[in-house]
Amino acid sequence: MNLEEIIGKITTIDPVKGTLVVDSWDGKYMSTHPFHIMPELDVVLRKQKPGYFVQISHDGELARGIKFANKPADWPQGKGNFKPRNERLIVVQVLVKAYTDLVLMSFNPENMDFDIARKLVLDAVEQDIDRVMKIGGEGK
C-alpha cells in the first residue's frame, strides 16, 4: 500500500458519518479534498475542529492517519472562507433602526405618510453616517 500525505485546513467535519473535508494549498491553487475516516481513527477525529491544520496520510479518499500540523508558511493570507465585514453597512443598519424608532416615538403614525417618514430617516442617516464612522474610529 502506497500512502500519500497532504497538509491542509479542515473546513468540514462530521464525526458521526466519519467524514472530513480539507482545503490544501499547492502554492498557486486551493484544492478541496473529502475524506472518509477509518473507524480506528474515531478518537483522533473527535479532537479535530474546522480551522485546524492537519497532516493526513491517505489512500485515495480513505484517510488512514491524522496528525495536527502547523500552518504552512506559504499559506495565503485572506484566502478561503473569510469575508470581511462591511462596517459602514452595519452602522447604516443600526442608524436606520434607531432613527426609525425615534420617528415612531416622535410622530403619530396615523398622521405620518410612509414616504415622508422614510425620507426623513434616510436623509438623517446620510447626514450623520460620516460623523458616526469618525466617532467609531473608521474615518480618522
Task: Read off the pLDDT of each residue in 50-67 and give the average, rounded to a whole number.
Answer: 90
| Band (34; pLDDT cuts 50, 70, 90) | very high
Residue given cell 502547523 in the structure block: 70
| Band (81; pLDDT cuts 50, 70, 90) | low
The Cα 45–Cα 69 span in angstroms is: 14
The grid cell for 31 is 484544492
Is pLDDT of 87 > 90? no
Is pLDDT of 66 > 60? yes
For all residues of the chain together, what is the average pLDDT?
A: 86
The Cα 25–Cα 29 span in angstroms is: 6
Shared domain check, 101 and 57: no
Q: What is the tally of structural domains in the chain?
A: 2
Q: Confirm whether 26 is domain-assigned.
A: yes
Residue 6 neighbours by CB distance under 10 Å: 17
Shared domain check, 63 and 11: yes
Is pLDDT of 3 > 90? no
Q: Confirm whether 80 is domain-assigned.
A: no
Shared domain check, 62 and 29: yes
Q: Confirm whether 22 is domain-assigned.
A: yes
**Range of 25's domain?**
4-68
